[in-house]
Every structure is written in C-alpha cells, then in structure tokens.
C-alpha cells in the first residue's frame, strides 16, 4: 500500500522531471573520454580481452535522492551504449518515485574491487570481471547488469547447503535478510530492490537476481546472457535499435499479459525471436547483417510489428499448486 501511495504522490506532484519537493531530475549520456578509459585499463576495470571496449560504453550521469532525502546531481554509472537510454529512463523513474540510492560512483573509485564497492553500498554496472566464485564472464563485463544498494539488497550465498547457513555480501546486508516490508509495528524500509523490479523489467533489465535460489542476488538486474553476447557482437547503431525493440516488446507484454507479467512469467524478446527464427538469433541476425544491413533493419522492424499484433500470453500460474 505504501508503495502505491508513494507512486501516487510522485505522479500527482511530478511534472516533467519535477519531484514532489520541487527538485529537478537532470541526466545526460556521454562517451568515455580517453583519460578515463586509460585509467580503467590501468585499474584492470577494462581488459584487452573484454567483449566490449571503451568505445561501446557510455557514462550515464543522473540525479538521485540519498537516504536522507538529499538530491545529488552527480550519480554516474557505466553501461553498454545500446542500453544507455533505457538506463537513463530507469534512474529518472527511481527519482520520481523518490527511491533512495546510497551512492552511484564508477568502479574505478574502488580500483575495480567489487567487494569494496559493495561494502560502501555503491550502485554500479560495468566491470570486466567473472561471475563471483566462477570463471564464466559476468554480465557486468558487458555493462548490461546493474547492482543497486548492496547493503539493502545483499548477495546471499549458501556455502554449506546441508545446514542452510547463509553468508551476506556485504556483511551489513544481513540486517535485510527479512525481505518483507509489511512487518507489524516496524517502519517501511526504503531502498530495497523489490520495490523497483517492474521499473528495471520494463526498461529491458528483466532478469532479477532476487528470483534466484542459490546464490540470491537481491541487488542485481541484468539482460539474458544470449542478449548480452548478441548486443556486444552487433554494431552500436543496430544494437541500440535492438535494445529499444526489446524494451518495447516487454512493455507490450505488460499491457497484453498483465497477470503473467506480475508473476514474472515474462517472455524475453530474444526468446521470442528464437521461436520465430528457429535458431540462435545471434547467428541468424549476424548472418543477415553480413549479407545486407538494410535487410536486417527490415527484419527487426518486422518482428516488432508482429510482436505488437500477436503476443500470446503463457498460461497463468496455478497458485493452488
């Protein structure tokens, strides 16, 4: 209920980028300057083998509310070029909702050390690194995963599965082990990711780590690995159009299938393309692209048109099961 009230207040009092208290949302998207790119390489935030280099990354600068209600105009996050407009929209909506963000600084500030960034409750995206505890490349290395308020939304692991013992990263996140925000006699806790899952989803970041079982990654929103690989392998202009179509597709899905969308039974755009193409969209689209750029543009347009006409909703969840 409180979430609904806060949203309603934001809508009633907001005009353009104006929030209820009159603060203006400001944002812009910029290319990565050479000196920043050199620093990223020196700190190993960027590596020569990374699937995207500095030319494919964008710095999104934005205003945000901190937990004391103070507005900061210097929030920054580094993401893939194709997703930058969507990321700017995400932070605009978080601002209008007055969703607090503790800090938003580039990972360079922590010398590329993810643990230091987590401990400082920093929200961030790009970092050329592997998935924590594994050798596979993280979606953060594509600038297509965003971590938000790590203390309020910890990364939870279960090193001893038989005992169920949980570890919280950062350690201060243990205070947020109970995820319910409707606790008798206790105040509403702001900054928890559950409140903004729909905002991230509608803007293309449709996979939330809070839906996983082991580890549980409450702070983490990402696109699918297949989509990350495709966007990285596709020239910037077409990748941007693809991501824009992906977000339109999701928004159409929310309209066409509200029940399934709220149950998170979301059909991903790349999954949908896969069904239509009958093969990996990455391979097929790249083949077409190599043959004729115009043909690929038409192909994407055609799919978006089809998607808007004929989304078939998956069967609703049987909640008695």
Interface residues toward Zn ion, by CB under 5 A: 145, 147, 220
Residue 44 is given by DSSP the state T
- Closer residue to Zn ion (CB): 122 or 245: 122
17, 26 in Cβ contact below 8 A?
Answer: yes
- In the complex, what is the shortest distance from the CB of residue 13 to Zn ion, in angstroms, rounded to a whole number? 33
Cβ atoms of 110 and 116 within 8 Å: the answer is yes
Upper half-sphere CA count for residue 62 (Cβ side, 13 Å): 31
Query: Cβ closer to Zn ion: 98 or 220?
Result: 220
Least Cβ distance, residue 156 to Zn ion (angstroms) = 13
Q: DSSP states of 87-137 as a string?
A: HHHHHHHHHHTT---SB---GGGGTT-HHHHHHTTB-B-----BPTTSSSB
Q: How far is the CB of 304 from Zn ion (least distance, A)?
A: 29
Tokens, residue 287? 């083949």
C-alpha span between 85 and 28 (Å, rounded): 9
Q: CB 22 → Zn ion: shortest distance, Å?
A: 34
- Closer Cβ to Zn ion, 139 or 231, answer by number: 139
Looking at beta carbons only, is 88 or 217 nearer to Zn ion?
A: 217
Contact (Cβ atoms closer than 8 angstroms) between residue 147 and residue 219: yes
Joined tokens for residue 318 = 């049987």
Q: Which residue, 145 or 266, has its beta carbon nearer to Zn ion?
A: 145
The residue among 151 and 307 lying less far from Zn ion, judged by its C-beta, is 151
Distance in angstroms (rounded) separating the CA atoms of residues 275 and 191:
37
Work out how close the CB of 138 gets to Zn ion at its nearest, in angstroms, rounded to a whole number: 7
Element containing residue 158 per DSSP (H, E): strand 155-160
Find the shortest distance in angstroms from Cβ 39 to Zn ion.
22
Residue with tokens 């208290």: 21
Nearer to Zn ion, 6 or 194 (CB): 194
Q: How far is the CB of 111 from Zn ion (least distance, A)?
A: 18
| Nearest residue (CB) to Zn ion, 29 versus 131 | 131
Residue nearest to Zn ion (CB): 220
Smallest distance from Zn ion to CB 146, Å: 7
In the chain, count H helices and then E strands. Answer: 11, 9
CA distance 86 to 88: 5
Compute φ and ψ for 130, nearest 5 degrees: -90, 165
Q: CA-CA distances (angstroms) from residue 150 to 74, 127, 172?
A: 19, 16, 9
């Amino acid at each position: 209920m409180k979430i609904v009230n806060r949203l309603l207040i934001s809508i009633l009092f907001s005009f353009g980028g104006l929030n209820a208290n009159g603060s203006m949302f400001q944002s812009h998207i910029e290319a990565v300057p050479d000196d920043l790119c050199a620093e990223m390489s020196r700190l190993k935030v960027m590596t020569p083998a990374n699937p995207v280099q500095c030319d494919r990354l964008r710095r999104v600068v934005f205003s945000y509310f901190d937990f004391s209600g103070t507005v900061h105009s210097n929030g920054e996050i580094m993401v893939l070029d194709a997703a930058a407009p969507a990321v700017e929209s995400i932070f605009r909506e978080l601002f209008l909702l007055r969703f607090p963000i503790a800090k938003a600084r580039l990972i360079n500030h922590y010398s590329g050390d993810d643990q230091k960034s987590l401990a400082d409750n920093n929200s961030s995206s790009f970092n050329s690194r592997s998935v924590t505890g594994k050798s596979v490349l993280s979606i953060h290395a594509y600038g297509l995963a965003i971590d938000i308020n790590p203390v309020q939304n910890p990364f939870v692991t279960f090193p001893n599965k038989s005992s169920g013992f949980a570890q919280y990263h950062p350690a201060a996140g243990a205070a947020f082990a109970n995820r319910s925000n409707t606790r008798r006699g206790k105040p509403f806790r702001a900054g928890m990711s559950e409140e903004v899952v729909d905002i991230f989803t509608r803007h293309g970041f449709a996979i939330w780590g809070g839906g996983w079982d082991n580890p549980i990654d409450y702070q983490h929103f990402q696109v699918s690995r297949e989509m990350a690989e495709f966007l990285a392998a596709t020239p910037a202009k077409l990748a941007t159009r693809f991501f824009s179509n992906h977000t339109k597709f999701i928004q159409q899905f929310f309209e066409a299938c509200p029940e399934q969308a709220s149950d998170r039974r979301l059909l991903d755009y790349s999954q949908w393309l896969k069904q239509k193409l009958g093969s990996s969209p990455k391979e097929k689209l790249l083949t077409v692209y190599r043959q004729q750029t115009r043909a690929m543009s038409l192909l994407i347009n055609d799919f978006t048109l089809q998607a808007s006409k004929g989304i078939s909703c998956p069967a609703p969840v049987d909640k008695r099961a």
